[in-house]
């Protein structure tokens, strides 16, 4: 008969062995990168046979903590996690920053490896996603495109009329290739989330969509890949939009419901910052694109926010040439 101390020692050894095994498994977790559609489909097929659910986080790369939070959230829902990195030409207008958009693939892969939960990174080529080519001028484009009518023309769609056509098209293509069970998007792009929900529903994709909260810097600025365009001085004023939105939300929390009154508070914040930038002659300008208080389902602008109803408070602000986008939710979820 084994003595208690010996039993304890054996138990400790077994526990240590299991711990080493678990640690080793984590240590050797590697990320597979796949560039072609046939190769990805071949890899994906094994999990259909195993009946394992797949989570998908589509990105354009230049990853930051906001993306990583989404990936972590995805890993909590499914045993298999796929991240795509693809700078989608179809969502850029000819006068926008497609060529300058930050591409940091090596660093992105390093960040994803550090999470220790990503199974595959899909890195498709433009020629494979758009076999007919993809000139930025819509009138020159050939092939199949997806539009979500009624939720794409307002807000972001006013300034960027072809943006959601490009987003909807590439997302539909990626859904078809990846065939995920769950997909994950960030709240920072609230209108995009609403457009994609409609796309999933209207095209009958068997996918459950999840929206992760906006990840912010210490002062509240929403994390964005384009924030790296900002100089330190611009960065100081990029927070203006967030300040305007929080002011509007504070007024809503106090019980004010009239659109003009609410927006006027936000306009005051933006105007004050705009004047300061001019007075200091900082070499750039602040230019408000829009402030919005919209219905969370239809995206129609609200004149009065009825008691018990919700709203999306959103806006866009040019800081120099960099466009800062943000939103806050009032009594609603995406």
Catalytic residue among 64, 67, 107, 182, which?
Answer: 67
Would you call 208 helix, strand, or coil by DSSP? strand
Question: What is the DSSP code string of 21-41?
Answer: HHHHHHHH---EEE-SHHHHH
Pairing verdict, β 32-34 and 120-122: parallel
* Distant-in-sequence, close-in-space partners of 43: CB < 8 Å, separation ≥ 6: 32, 34, 120
CB–CB of 126/169 below 8 Å? no
How many Cβ atoms sit within 10 Å of the Cβ of residue 67?
A: 25
Nearest of 313, 317, 316, 315 to residue 328 by alpha carbon: 313
CA gyration radius, the chain: 23
* Distant-in-sequence, close-in-space partners of 2: CB < 8 Å, separation ≥ 6: 10
What's the residue count for the chain? 334
Known catalytic residue at 29 = no
Tokens 């000139």 -> residue: 135
d(CA 176, CA 156): 26
Task: Work out whether the CA dihedral 224, 226, 231, 235 comes out positive or negative.
Answer: negative
Tokens 């219905």 -> residue: 295
Active site residues: 67
């Amino acid at each position: 008969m084994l003595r208690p101390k010996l039993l304890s020692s054996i138990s400790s050894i077994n526990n240590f062995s299991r711990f080493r095994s678990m640690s080793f498994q984590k240590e050797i977790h590697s990320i597979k990168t796949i560039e072609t559609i046939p190769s990805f489909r071949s890899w994906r097929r094994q999990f259909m046979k195993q009946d394992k659910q797949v989570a998908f986080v589509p990105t354009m790369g230049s990853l930051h903590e906001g993306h990583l939070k989404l990936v972590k959230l995805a890993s909590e829902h499914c045993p298999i996690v796929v991240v795509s990195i693809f700078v989608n030409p179809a969502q850029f207008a000819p006068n926008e920053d497609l060529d300058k958009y930050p591409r940091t693939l090596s660093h992105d892969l390093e960040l994803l490896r550090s999470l220790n939960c990503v199974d595959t990174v899909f890195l498709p080529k433009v020629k494979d996603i758009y076999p007919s080519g993809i000139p930025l001028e819509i009138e020159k484009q050939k092939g199949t495109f997806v539009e979500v009518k009624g939720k794409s023309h307002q807000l972001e769609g006013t300034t960027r009329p072809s943006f959601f056509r490009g987003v909807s098209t590439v997302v539909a293509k990626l859904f078809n290739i990846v065939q995920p069970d769950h997909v994950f998007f960030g709240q920072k792009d609230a209108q995009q989330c609403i457009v994609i929900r409609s796309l999933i529903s209207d095209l009958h994709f068997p996918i459950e969509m999840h929206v992760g909260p906006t990840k912010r810097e210490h002062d509240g600025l929403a994390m964005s890949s384009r924030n790296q365009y900002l100089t330190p001085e611009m960065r100081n004023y990029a927070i203006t939009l967030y300040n305007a939105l929080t002011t509007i939300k504070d007024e809503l929390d106090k019980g004010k419901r009239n659109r003009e009154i609410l927006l006027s508070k936000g306009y005051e914040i933006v105007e004050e910052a705009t004047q300061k930038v001019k007075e200091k002659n900082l070499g750039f300008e602040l230019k408000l694109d829009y402030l919005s208080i919209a219905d969370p389902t239809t995206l129609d602008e609200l004149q009065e926010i009825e008691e018990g109803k919700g709203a999306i408070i959103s806006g866009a602000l040019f800081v120099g040439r960099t466009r800062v986008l943000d939103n806050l939710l009032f009594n609603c979820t995406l």
